[in-house]
Every structure is written in structure tokens, then in C-alpha cells.
Amino acid sequence: MQKRRGATQAEVPAASSLRSTMTSTPFSRARDQLGDAQLVELYRQMMLIRRFEEKCQEMYTRAKIGGFLHLYVGEEATGVGAISNLQSQDHIFTHYRDHGHAIARGLNIDELMAELFGKDTGTSHGMGGSMHFADITKNFWGGYAIVGSHLLLAAGVALACQMQKTNGVVMVFFGDGATNGGEFYESLNFAQLWKLPVVFVCENNLYAMGTPIEVHSSVKEIYRKASAFDMKAMRIDGNDVLTVREQVAEAVEYARSGQGPVLVEAMTYRFRGHSAQDTQKYRSKEDVEQHRSNDPVLIFRKELIDAGVSSAADIDALDAVIDEQVEASVRFADESPVPGNEWLTDSGIYAAPLATATVDPDLV
Amino acid sequence: MPVLTVREALQQALHEAMADERTFIIGEDIGHYGSTYGVTAGFLEKYGPERIRDAPIAEAGIVGLAVGAAMAGMRPIAEIMSVNFSLLAFDMIINHAAKIYSMFGGKFSVPLVMRTTNGWTQLSATHSQTFDSMFAHIPGLKVVAPATPADMKGLFRAAMADPDPVIFIEHTLMYGIKGEVPDGDYIVPIGKSVLAREGRHITVVTYSRMVHLSLQAADILAKEGIEVEIVDLRTLRPLDMSIALESFKKTNRAVVVTEDWQSYGTSAEIATRLYEQGFDYLDAPIQRVNFREVPMPYAKNLEQQVVVTTDRIVAAIKKVLNRS
Amino acid sequence: MAEITMPKMGFDMTEGTIVRWLKKVGDFVNKGEAVAEIETDKVTIEIESFVSGTLSEIVSPAGSRTAVGGVIARTSDGAVATQTAPTAAPVAAVAPTAAPVAPVAAVAPAAAPVAAVAAGDVKASPIAKRMAREHGLDLGTIHGSGPQGRIVRDDVSAAMAGRPAGMVAPVVAPVAPVAPVAPVAAPALPSAAAGSTVVPLSNMRRTITRRLTQSWQTAPHFYITMDVNMDAALTLRKQVNAPLSKEQQISINDMIVKACGVALVAYPNLNASFVEEGIQLNPSINVSIAVALDSGLVAPVVTNADSRSLGGVSRESKRLIGLARDGKLGAENLQGGTFTVSNLGMYGVTEFDAIITPPQCAILAVGAVRRIPVFKGDSNDVVAANICSITISADHRITDGAEGAKFIGEIKRLLENPLSMLI
């Protein structure tokens, strides 16, 4: 192999150093910077994702939700921490495991649940489902289901930001499994070549669907793949929301300043299977249980209470509100109408439908 | 009206498109090299590297970035030098450009124009293909394949004005073809076919370069008293069969000429539409003239037997007319 | 040795009469050459040989009748022994060869004889099949000029035009759809009395027998008669005819045909046909004019009688009558009628009732124009007037008395105000 580029390596902290033993911790720095209310807000987002998805699982088994259901449970700290750095003019692209990013970006969970239920009130009028949440009023460009493909779209939006001089940054999420295909390398090359404002966030949950990283990638440390492009990269603890927030903030600032893209590798773990019907033969129950004992949501909850940011009673009350919101989203979705058949016509396919587009209006 | 080549007409259309600040061109060798087929020659000097973006040889990236930029408010033109290379971008074209509007419930669209070229001239198997039917197969795409300089310009304007992704298919053997191009603003709408020649004995349905070969065939047959009517589809998706059907109902006989393989090709769709919608007017089986179904050979003598020629069109027309 | 058989020239044709032989025994006949003239239901046409060879035997002499498919002649020539294929196939395929001539009533049309033929072994393009169906032509009688003998559009066009090209023949047949209701089986007829003279029915007589029996049995007729004052019509006719030559003169009948055409526009039911699915409103107004011939009756069609000028109706009518008298009417002259005018005025008939021509809805029977005394307006003054009685026979399945009365009233109005027809 070629000699690795030192510049890239030097900027990447070792994973072991991420949980700093310094007196100043990510928690203390975040508390100073954000204030207690914002810390609780981060917790609220994580717990909302958790409860929403647990409800999704229930609704899936009740056959209210069809198709695939890829849950983000266990990875909430990465999405919430990273997205907390974005401003309104910034953009998000994500993959098919998109519930967490959508909720962290503030999409309306009523509309999200309705989308899952295949209802007209869904974020995509029931045309997309679980894998395709989107809301451009929040520059949330959607979940994409072809692994690695959306990195190029993200680079394209970044190119638009650069040409339009919007000062916007594009954050794009993908998994470790997405880093072996050509689209990953093409997007990194384009982004670094043209200094596009992209923050590539790789959520390394150790499995490409059900294939362990040792089996699918010649390089186990994904962030090192950036070295081929002289691109800034970092590997971070994706299970600690405040570490994620702090480290990704640096990447976002770097991209926004016009210096170019950054590859962030966030180490995390998915508690549930790849999708709802995953039998998880590729990992042991013990492994999963061990990771669950370090649940990022529960750990952060405990940190907030222990540090006196919030009382246990207040957190319980907040959880109850979240539960009620999730229940309400189910009621909303249940009561919503299904999309109309106009989605099966040209007007559902084209922004500018043409009269001759229909092959046969009386198609049997 | 001024007479222009296809290349000149396209250049005019591209310059007009560049008048929109949102427009940029991304593609391989469009700038520093000077443009493979000369269409964007001089553009880099005029518009600069920000808007004439020489791209790495990475077709998925070229189309993917253009799709993303289009979503975010730009009006990009992605150039794929040869349609053969577009296979590397098919995920971007089919899974993304074509799907985004409906998959996200119509919340945003992809106003992208992707220019690409069909063509062959002893380029062997991987540089001589056409994939018209593969693009035209996809709901969500609009696919145009003009034949004349005037239509090139007029349809390019329509493509740039369209909020949906448009695959704009050119032909390497057509850039030098001349024709009258109207002065001033005009637009050739997407999804409208046109009569290229009037006749009463048989209908030829075709598009792109095959229009010109069919016109040559018609000239030859006219000397034998056979009057061939030629319909230029211009757009493959949405497919406007109204003029072809009108003609077919008059002549009751048809030949479909397309420059692709016959099986599952565009001619299959066109002929099927004639059968479905014109069955009661059918007086003889529809004949198709296409590439012979082999990977394109390099050797000239073999290549000539694979491609569509005027002679083959003439023979097909005579066969349908039961003439020898 | 090859056989020439009686061709089937229409879906309801079961037999034909040899009018005359154009070739005699010993003559060499080229494939496609006319060998004989035959009489079908209402037309006389030439038939051609499907083979080349020497005419060796005439089986059916002139004047004889032969069932469709029956052998009428033989040719001999070793070289042409394969005559039956392929072009002879359509003829043979659709005909019950060797069947004895069946009683006419027994071969009344089945529900969909056209379809049966079109869907059979005859090879024809879709448009050829459609045209044949629409015009009541039997594909089995049409020579196919396409590959493998496929009947193509131009073959049917030729057949419709009655051109002698190919084995093409016009056929007299009611326009499809055919009788929607199966005719009641005819009661057994008495046998001829011993010693009586029996005149065999001509084909035309047979057709009249069959079709009018069918009409009488299936269409419940009702009749309405009205008197029309023809003074104004006669005055106009005189004015119009003044500058015209004898050949161009407009007849009273022409004016009546024109009046019917105009009136039918407002009364589409009277221009309809009773069909399986209901009442078929015919898109064109085509008026059949009954023409008496020595041998019987034909009713050539003045198409689009509503839109033709009075002069146009007159010219077309004269042309058709001329063709009829010469026995030259083609299929296209005899099909597609949607209404009939029958005029016996020249025989001094004051009024009469006619039988509807199927599948039409109505027929107008026209009597003589009589000069009779009438009261002038509301006064008691008696003046002379030219009065013509007209009687409509209409199919009660389609229309009723009141509508029939209004329709015939409209004809009366038009004839009494003839200028309104000319606008």
C-alpha cells in the first residue's frame, strides 16, 4: 500500500482519547456553552427517537406499517449530536435508516408516523414510507435506499451551496457498509477536489446489514479511507451525544469556512436488527446485551440527573409527554386519509406532466 | 431562415441556457480538452471553470452531483460523453433522478438535463450501443431524441425549461447535419411528434438519425411510385403516437426504424402501440429495421451489416408493401 | 383434372345461377380469366378460374342453379393438377359442397354469419376483415393479393367497388348487423298441384322472399297515411326544370327522396336499425329507392340524401336507376340503405302499404299525384289541387305512432314548402 498521508492522520484523535480524563469534559463544556435547557432538549430528541421507534416496531408487528422497517435504536447519540450543530441554511441527506435524523432535524412526528402508515398526511404523501422521509422546509432532503448513492446527491447540493454562496453546509449520513462502493469514492473525490462544504458522517455500527466490518472492508478504520483524497477525517465516539456534538461542530465549521469536506467516523451500535425481520445470526445476544448496557440514551439521562441538570421527576414527566406525543402520532396516522389515485397518474410522477405521458389510461 | 448544423444549433441553445445564472455544465472533457464533439468548444473561455466544470471520469458523480444541484435550485446540464458510459450513472438516473419527485410525494423535483450521444464508427462493442429503450422505460424521466438542427435547439430549450429530468439524446454522426433553424424564440415541446414527410402508401415511424436515413429511403422509393410517410417521434417518453397512428390509419402499413437492438427495444414499444391502437387498420405485419442483435463488431465489413442502412429500410418497406 | 366450383359471393348466398359461359369446352383458360357470368341474389358478375387449363367439361349449363361449392366445370391439364391450393381455398372452405339446394327458408341467416366467415380459414388483414364486416362482404369470395393469399385492404376496396379485378364480387346483403331476432321458421309449404306449371324462383325472387318474409315476421309494422298538397312542389319543379335538358329533369320522386333525407335528420329513430343490443342510430342518411325491373325489384341507395342538393339527389337517382336497368349495380350501390322510398304513383296507385326493408326502420309508400277538388283554405270555395297520398310503414320496435305521425308530417311540410328543402 502507499504511504498514508500524514497530514490527515495527525488531525485525528485516537478513539481511546475521546473520553477525556481532563477536568474539562464534553459534558461540562456543553453545559457551559448551551445551558441546561439545551442539554435537556438533546435528551428529549434522543428519547423521542427511541420511543417513536419502539412504537414503530409495535405498529409494524400490528401490520400498520408495511415494507421494511430499519430502526435507529442505539445510534441516537450520533444523529442528535451531529445535527445539533446545523443551522437552518444547512442541509441533511441520510440513508434508509432515517427516522432518527428526521426527528433530530425537527420533522413533525405526526407526519412521520403517517408516512409510515402510508397516509396522505405523511411527509411524502405515503409515497416513500420508512426509508424516504423528507421535508425541504427543513432542508431535510430525505432518506435514500440505495447504499452510498446519496453521497453524490449531497455533494451536488453542496456544489449548489458553494455556487449560490449560501454559506450552507451539507451533512450526509451513511453506514460503514456504504464506504466500499464507487459512489463513496467518487463523492469524496469530487468534494475534496472542489472543496465542497460537506460533512460526511459515517455511522460505523460494525455491520453492513449483517456482514461484519472485518468481512466487508479491507480497512477497518473507515476514517482512514479519507486519506486517499487528502481529506480531513476524524473518528469519534458516536454513543456520547455531547462528544459527537463537540467533534462534529469542528467538522461543520471547517466545511463552512470553505476549507473543504470532512469525513467523520462515529463509532456506534445498532441495538436492533438491520430491519424488523432480521434474525441477527451474525452477532451474539451477549454482544447486543453488552452494548445495551451502555445505552447512550439512558447514560445521558443518568448524566443529566447526576449533574443536577434536571431532576428525575422532571425527566419522568418529560418522558411521559414524549409517550403521549408518540401515541398522538399514531392516532393522527390512523385517522388520516390514504393518498388518492392521482399518485398513479402522470401528475404523481412529473412536476410538469405531459398529456401524452400515459401509456394507456384504461390500463387493465 | 439560417441554415445551421446540429452542432451549431446545439451551441446556440447551450449559450442561451448559460444566460441563466443557475446553469452550469458538468462533464468529461467539456473544457480544457475543447469538447469531444466540439459542442462546448470555447465555453470554458467564455464562462470560466466555475460554470464549465471539467469533471473526473466518474459518470455516477457527474450525474449525481448534477441531480443534487438541481434539487437545490440550480439548472445543471450534465454531459455524458457517450451513452455507453451512462451505464455507470444508471443508479443516479433511474434510482434518483427519475424517482425523487414521486418518491418524496412531489415535494421537490430534479430539473436536470443530461446530454448524451448515441453513435458508432468502428468503435467496437462497448462504444457503439444505444440505450434509448432503457431510458424510455423509466417513469419519471423524459427522453428526447431530436433529428434536425431546429428540433435540437427547440427541444433543448424545452428541456431546460422543464422541471423534470430530461435525457437529451444526440448522435455522433449527426452533428454535421444541416437544416433550417428558425430565428428568434421558439420552443419545440417535449412529447410532440411531427410528420417528417407526407406519403400515402406506408408509414415509417422513427426518430433521431434514422429520420434522415428514412428520408433517403423515401427518395429512392418515390422513383418507384411508392410514397412513404415518415413520422419523427422526437420524444420517446412521453411517447406521442397520435401522428403515427393517424398516418397508420391512412396507410394501414408501417415500418419502424430504430437504431438499437430489436428485442425489447424502442421499436417493440412503437410497434405494439400501433398494434394495440391501430389493430383494425392493420393491413400487413409491421416490419422493424434495427441493429442486428450482436455486440458491435470492429471490422468494417461486419459493422456495416449490423447497422441500419438505407437499403435495409427500402427492403423492409417493400416487404411490407409486398413489392419486390 | 381440376374443378371450377360455384363461388360463395355473400355470407347468405347458398346457390348461384349460371347466366352464361364465357368459355366453351376446349378453350384454354388462364388463371384469373373470367370463365362464366353468374347471377347471385341481385347482381350478375363474372367469375374467374383459379387455375390455368383447358375447359374440358361444363357441368352446369347456362340457366342452371348450383349450390355454393358445387362443381360447375372441369379443366384438364396435367400441369395444373394442383389447382385447389391455395387460392381456391376460400371458396371451398366456406361452402357446404355437394349439399343439395336447400329450401330458402331453411337457410335464413344465422346470428352472425359474417363473423363466422371472417374468423374462419380465410386469411385477411385486420382492416380487410373490418371493412368486410362493415360492408357485409364475404371474405370467402374475395381474392387475396397479399403474401400467402392474404386478403388486404385494397382487395376489399376492389370488391366494394365491384371491380372485376381478381376473384372479386359485390354482394347483395343487408348491412350488418343482421336480423337481431331469429326469424320464425316458415311453415311447410304445400306441394305443387299435379299438372300445374311451376316456375322456379330466380335468385332475386328468392332474396325478396327471404328478406321480406323475415321483415314481415320480425318487424311489427304500423302504417300512417297523410295527404300532401303538391301544388307548390309541382310549381317549383316546373321552374327548376325549365332550363334543364330532358335527361336532367327533376322528378317528383327526387323531391320526395330529398324531403325524406331532410326529415330524417330531425327523426333519427326513423333512420335506425333494431339490433341485438338495442336501437342502432345510423350515422348516415342513405335512402334506398325501390326500382321495379322485369325480373323483380332492386333498391339502390342514394347515400347522404340529407346533404345532397336536390339536383344531386336527382343525378344520383338517375344514375342508379340506369345501372339497375342495365343489371350493373354493384354492391356499393345496394348496401347501407337506412330508409326506403317506394313509389307506385306511375301505376295510378292512390295509396298503398309497403313492407319494411330489413334492417331499416321505415319505408315510405308514395301514391300518384291526383288532381282533385278541395276546399280553399277555410272558405267553402272548391278549387283544384294536386294531392299525393304518402304512407309510412314503420317498425314498432323502434318507434311509435305519434313519432311516425310527426315524421310524416315533416315530410308533408317540406313538400308543401319546397323552398325550405333547398336551403
Neighbours of chain B (3+ CB pairs under 8 A): A, C
* C-contacting residues in B 176-215 (Cβ below 8 Å): none
Q: For an interface test with A, which of B54, B92, B107 has the most A Cβ atoms less than 10 Å from its Cβ?
A: B107
Q: Give the whole-angstrom CA distance, residue B133 versus residue B260.
A: 8
Nearest to B96 by CA among A220, A134, A42: A134
CB C308 within 8 A of CB C357: no
Q: Which residue of C has its CA nearest to B281?
A: C127
What is the structure's pLDDT at C105?
36
Q: Is B108 on the interface with C (CB under 8 A)?
A: no
Q: Is B276 on the interface with C (CB under 8 A)?
A: no
Chain A / chain B CB contacts < 8 angstroms: 161
Residue type, C336: G
Q: Give the whole-angstrom CA distance, residue A56 versus residue A50.
A: 10
- pLDDT tens for A195-219 read 999 999 999 999 988 899 999 999 9
Instruction: Examine residue A9 and state whether it is found in any structural domain, yes or no.
Output: no
Nine-digit cell string for C77: 391439364
CB B202 within 8 A of CB B217: no
**Mean pLDDT calculated for residue range C310-314:** 91
3-state secondary structure string across A51-102: HHHHHHHHHHHCCCCCCCCCCCCCCHHHHHHHHCCCCCCCEEEEECCCHHHH
Q: Is B283 on the interface with C (CB under 8 A)?
A: yes
B238 contacts in A (CB within 8 Å)?
A: 346, 354-358
Touch criterion met for A and C (3+ Cβ pairs within 8 Å): no
What is the structure's pLDDT at C135?
82
Q: Is C126 on the interface with B (CB under 8 A)?
A: yes
A135 contacts in B (CB within 8 Å)?
A: 107
B322 contacts in C (CB within 8 Å)?
A: 145-147, 152
Q: For an interface test with B, which of A116, A161, A190, A342 has the most B Cβ atoms less than 10 Å from its Cβ?
A: A190
Nine-digit cell string for C135: 360492408
A94 contacts in B (CB within 8 Å)?
A: none
Give the number of other CB atoms < 10 A from CB of residue C119: 11
Nine-digit cell string for B268: 417493440
**Mean pLDDT calculated for residue range C351-374:** 92
Instruction: Examine residue A88 and state whether it is found in any structural domain, yes or no.
Output: yes
Q: Which residue of A has its CA nearest to B111?
A: A351
Bond preceding residue B163 cis, omega within 30 of 0: no
Q: Give the whole-angstrom CA distance, residue B266 versus residue B132.
A: 7
Q: Is C142 on the interface with B (CB under 8 A)?
A: no
| Residue C185 clears pLDDT 70, i.e. is over it | no
Q: Give the whole-angstrom CA distance, residue A183 versus residue A165.
A: 25
Residues paired with residue B229 on neighbouring β-strands, in sequence order: B203
Domain count, chain A: 1
Nearest to A156 by CA among A202, A180, A191, A189: A191
Q: Give the whole-angstrom CA distance, residue C402 versus residue C409.
A: 10
**Mean pLDDT calculated for residue range C15-39:** 84
Nine-digit cell string for A113: 408516523
Paired sense of beta strands B254-261 and C278-281, if any: unpaired
Cα distances from A320 to residues A42, A52, A83, in angstroms, run 16, 13, 24
Cα distances from B138 to residues B96, B181, C411, in angstroms, run 11, 31, 62
C118 contacts in B (CB within 8 Å)?
A: none
| Residue C150 clears pLDDT 50, i.e. is over it | yes
Higher per-residue pLDDT: B305 or C16: B305
Give catalytic status of residue B180 as yes or no: no
Q: Where in chain C is the domain with CATH 3.30.559.10?
A: 207-422
Distance from CA of A92 to the nearest CA of B (A): 12
- pLDDT tens for B215-261 read 999 999 999 999 999 999 999 999 999 999 999 999 999 999 999 99
Q: Which residue of B has its CA nearest to A163?
A: B50
Q: Is C148 on the interface with B (CB under 8 A)?
A: no
pTM: 0.66
Cα distances from B226 to residues A28, A137, B211, B213, in angstroms, run 90, 61, 17, 16
Higher per-residue pLDDT: A360 or C368: C368
The catalytically annotated residue of B16, B127, B137, B227 is: B127
C152 contacts in B (CB within 8 Å)?
A: 283-284, 322
Paired sense of beta strands C339-343 and C287-289, if any: parallel
Are the Cβ atoms of B252 and C130 closer than 8 angstroms? Answer: no
Instruction: Examine residue A348 and state whether it is found in any structural domain, yes or no.
Output: no
Long-range contacts of B250-253 (CB under 8 A, 24+ apart): B250/B200, B250/B203, B251/B199, B251/B200, B251/B201, B251/B202, B251/B203, B252/B281, B252/B282, B252/B283, B252/B284, B252/C125, B252/C127, B252/C153, B253/B201, B253/B202, B253/B203, B253/B283, B253/B284, B253/B286, B253/B320, B253/B321
Nearest to A157 by CA among A289, A71, A229, A261: A261
Q: Which range, A262-276, B61-75, C216-230, has the best average confidence (pLDDT)?
A: B61-75
Q: Is C200 on the interface with B (CB under 8 A)?
A: no
CA A167 to chain centre: 22
Neighbours of chain A (3+ CB pairs under 8 A): B
Q: Which CATH number is C2-161 given?
A: 2.40.50.100
Confidence grade of residue C183 (pLDDT, cut at 50, 70, 90): very low
Domains of chain B: 3-180 (3.40.50.970), 194-320 (3.40.50.920)
What is the structure's pLDDT at C89?
32
Distance from CA of A69 to the nearest CA of B (A): 17
Bond preceding residue A353 cis, omega within 30 of 0: no
Residues paired with residue C395 on neighbouring β-strands, in sequence order: C221
What is the structure's pLDDT at C208?
80
Burial A27-63 (b: 16+ CB within 10 A, else e): beebbeebeeeebbebbbbbbbbbbbbebbeebbeee
What is the structure's pLDDT at C292?
86
Are the Cβ atoms of B252 and C127 closer than 8 angstroms? Answer: yes
DSSP one-letter string for B51-71:
TEEE--S-HHHHHHHHHHHHH
Q: Which of A168-172, A308-312, C330-334 has the lowest mean pLDDT?
A: C330-334
Q: Which CATH number is C207-422 given?
A: 3.30.559.10
φ and ψ at residue C37, rounded to 5 degrees: -110, 130
A157 contacts in B (CB within 8 Å)?
A: 68-69, 71-72
Cα distances from A170 to residues A174, A200, C336, in angstroms, run 13, 8, 74
Range of the domain at A54: 26-338
Residue among A146, A156, A360 minimizing CB distance to B69? A156
Q: Give the whole-angstrom CA distance, residue C91 versus residue A103.
A: 80
Confidence grade of residue A22 (pLDDT, cut at 50, 70, 90): low
Question: Is the ipTM here above 0.85?
Answer: yes
Q: Give the whole-angstrom CA distance, residue C175 versus residue A83.
A: 78
What is the structure's pLDDT at C176?
36
Q: Identify the CATH number of the domain in which residue A309 sits.
A: 3.40.50.970
What is the structure's pLDDT at C325?
85
Task: Give mean pLDDT in consecutive 10-residue pieces for chain B, a chain of 324 residues.
Answer: 96 97 97 92 96 98 98 98 97 98 96 97 96 97 98 98 98 96 93 97 98 98 97 97 96 97 97 94 96 96 97 97 88
Residue type, A289: E
- pLDDT tens for A57-82 read 889 888 899 999 999 999 999 999 99
Cα distances from A212 to residues A95, A97, A280, B188, C84, in angstroms, run 19, 18, 11, 54, 78
Number of H helices, E strands in chain A: 14, 8
Q: Give the whole-angstrom CA distance, residue A165 versus residue A162.
A: 5
φ and ψ at residue B216, rounded to 5 degrees: -60, -45
Are the Cβ atoms of B61 and A356 closer than 8 angstroms? Answer: no
Confidence grade of residue A360 (pLDDT, cut at 50, 70, 90): low
What is the structure's pLDDT at C11?
54
B281 contacts in C (CB within 8 Å)?
A: 126-127, 130
The catalytically annotated residue of B8, B59, B229, B259 is: B59
A187 contacts in B (CB within 8 Å)?
A: 61, 64
CB B236 within 8 A of CB B208: no
Are the Cβ atoms of C127 and B322 closer than 8 angstroms? Answer: no
Confidence grade of residue C19 (pLDDT, cut at 50, 70, 90): confident
Confidence grade of residue C402 (pLDDT, cut at 50, 70, 90): very high
| Residue C94 clears pLDDT 80, i.e. is over it | no
CB B71 within 8 A of CB B100: yes
∠ CA(C26), CA(C30), CA(C36), 5° rounding?
70
| Residue A361 clears pLDDT 70, i.e. is over it | no
Distance from CA of C338 to the nearest CA of B (A): 25
Q: For an interface test with A, which of B59, B65, B113, B241 has the most A Cβ atoms less than 10 Å from its Cβ?
A: B65
Nine-digit cell string for B314: 427500402
